[in-house]
């Protein structure tokens, strides 16, 4: 009789464990589904408009300007410069997702990709705390701006 009770208890325990584990698996699947939906929403997010990207990048207080300001100071704040470079990378990604106000999309995409690669190069120079490379990368970014503006900026915005 004692063995029967022990077996029944063991079976009940195993059954309860199986139900609990299957509920946990279902909860994890449900949570993964929510995570996938959240990441899908991030991908669907509209890019910033070009004017807002330019403002956040190059206007007073903009990321590129702040990096240039740091390079002119006696002691470069590399952490601040790196944060601003990371901002520029995000902004460059949004720039690429926009349509050109003037000119063809293929040329726009090529220049946007070039801009992004130059900003990544700037980030790497800042990470290495290499003043000469950082200054050269800043100049490269500035030159790419002019080329893009010449090809894609509406004449009345100048």
Structural domain ending residue among the three candidates 9, 24, 45: 45
| CATH number of domain containing 72 | 1.20.120.10
- Indicate if 120 and 71 belong to the same structural domain: yes
- Indicate if 138 and 86 belong to the same structural domain: yes
- Please state the domain count of the chain: 2
- Indicate if 91 and 37 belong to the same structural domain: no
pLDDT tens sequence across 115-140? 999 999 999 999 999 999 999 999 99
- Indicate if 65 and 11 belong to the same structural domain: no
Provide the domain limits for residue 56: 50-157
- For residue 37, the model assigns a pLDDT of 52
Residue 10 confidence (pLDDT) above 80: no
- Residues whose CB falls within 8 Å of the CB of residue 81, separated by 6 or more in sequence, listed in order: 66, 67, 70, 71, 126, 134
- Entry pTM: 0.69
Alpha helices in the chain (DSSP H): 2-44, 50-58, 63-72, 78-97, 105-127, 131-152
Q: Which two tokens stand for residue 97?
A: 């997702």
pLDDT tens sequence across 32-67? 555 555 555 555 689 999 999 999 998 999 999 999
């Amino acid at each position: 009789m004692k063995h029967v009770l022990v077996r029944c208890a063991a079976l009940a325990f195993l059954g309860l464990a199986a139900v609990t584990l299957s509920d946990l698996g279902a909860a994890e699947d449900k949570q993964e589904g929510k995570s996938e939906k959240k990441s899908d929403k991030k991908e669907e997010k509209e890019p910033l408009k070009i004017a807002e990207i330019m403002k956040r990048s190059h206007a007073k207080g903009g990321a590129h300007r702040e990096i240039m300001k740091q390079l002119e100071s006696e002691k470069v704040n590399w952490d601040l410069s790196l944060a601003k470079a990371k901002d520029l990378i995000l902004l460059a990604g949004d720039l690429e997702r926009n349509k050109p106000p003037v000119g063809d999309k293929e040329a726009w995409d090529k220049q946007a990709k070039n801009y992004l690669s130059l900003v990544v190069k700037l980030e790497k120079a800042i990470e290495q705390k290499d003043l000469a490379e950082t200054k050269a990368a800043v100049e490269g970014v500035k030159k790419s701006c002019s080329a893009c503006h010449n090809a894609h900026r509406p004449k009345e915005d100048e």
